[in-house]
Amino acid sequence: MNTNIHEVTNNFFVLMKKYLLKQISANSFEDKYIDLWNVYVDSENQSEIARNVSDSIGRVFTAIDVFNPDSKNRANYEIDENQLRKEVKMELLKIKPELEKELL
């Protein structure tokens, strides 16, 4: 699959910003992120992405994986929406300068 990996990483960046600005719900963010993740992991040119960006994309995926909005059925290791938002913000702040450099 010949995917433009820089376009995919930019889409992660835009999606994370939309989530943090509350332009999309947590469930929508989760679904869209997983869709992007599938494109990303199927890409043959992931090595073109800076290591810290790749790591942050993976950490957000992990946070989504343990996200459970249902407080009544949440296991000890699962996180709520507030924690998911914190994780996304932390990772976005780490990679924002690198992604903006790539877009120039």
Measured CA to CA, the distance from residue 14 to residue 55 in angstroms comes to 17
What pLDDT sits at residue 4? 79
SS3 label, residue 67: strand
What is the domain-level CATH number for residue 60?
1.20.120.650
Full domain range(s) for residue 49: 5-103
Least confident among 23-27, 38-42, 94-98? 94-98
CB-CB contact of 8 with 35 (8 Å): no
The string of pLDDT tens digits covering residues 50-78 is 888 889 999 999 999 999 999 999 999 99
What pLDDT sits at residue 101? 64
What pLDDT sits at residue 74? 95
- pLDDT greater than 50 at residue 84: yes
What pLDDT sits at residue 104? 47
Identify the DSSP state of 49. S
What pLDDT sits at residue 103? 53
- Calculate mean pLDDT across residues 34-54: 86
- Give the count of domains, the chain: 1
- pLDDT greater than 50 at residue 40: yes
